[in-house]
Amino acid sequence: MVWLLNGFVLTVDGDRELVKYERLGGLIAALHACLLLKPALLSAPEITYLRRALDMSQADLAQVLGTTDQTLSLWERGSHPMARASDTLLRKLCVESKAFAAKMPALQTRVQPLSRLAQGVGQFMYEGRLVADQWSFEARPLHQTTHSAKTSVALPTGSARGARSA
């Protein structure tokens, strides 16, 4: 779950609410960096989101990770936890991919600690904030979150659409 504290504008078009994001490219890059540096194993929706961001099929990613597409499907559905080694390899694949590297060159120097990040478990929420034209995100365990967010973005969709929260 992603909560944006600012950096967006809600407008109404008839009976539809539309969300416009400021600096969308920076928003996505900051979210990717926060997700890849999360201090716990990736969740099922996060695995799916990263695979889609890499523009890979389940079969292609499974081959790279040295597993089957059926196993990857179990991970993405949350039916079976992803092994720590596969979690680390997926993160490194993202860091080294051209799509991610172009958006996050500073993350290239932080590849080594990735294997230590995947030690914890639990649900995390990502709080995003736009300050001085720069997006930043912080991963927080759900039990530690306090926010006044008005918009959430679902990771699995990979789209730039948001939904208003209550």
Q: What is the CATH number of the domain that holds 59?
A: 1.10.260.40
Within a domain: residue 165? no
Q: Provide the pLDDT for residue 153.
A: 40
For the whole model, what pTM was predicted?
Answer: 0.64
pLDDT for the residue numbered 117: 52
154 belongs to a structural domain: no
Does 158 map to a domain?
no
Cα–Cα distance for residue pair 90/92, rounded to 1 Å? 5
Does residue 128 sit within a domain?
A: yes
Residue 150 maps to a domain: no
The total number of structural domains that make up the chain = 1
Domain contains 161: no
Q: Give domain status of residue 151, yes or no.
A: no
Q: Which residues of 99-132 are buried (b: 16+ CB within 10 A; e: fewer)?
A: ebeebbeebeeeeeebeebbeeeeebbbbbbbee
- Calculate the alpha carbon distances from 94 to 4, 21, 32, 110, 124 in Å: 23, 24, 9, 12, 19
- pLDDT given at position 76: 97
DSSP class of 24: H
* Per-residue pLDDT tens listing for the chain (166 residues): 677 888 888 899 999 989 888 888 888 888 888 888 888 899 999 999 999 989 999 999 999 999 999 999 999 999 999 999 999 899 988 888 866 665 555 544 444 454 455 555 566 666 777 777 777 767 777 655 454 433 344 443 333 334 333 3
Residue 22 sits in which domain range?
A: 2-108+118-143
Q: State both tokens at 35.
A: 């997700």
- Strand-pair category, 16-21 with 8-13: antiparallel
Q: Return the SS3 of 30.
A: helix
Domain assignment present for 54: yes
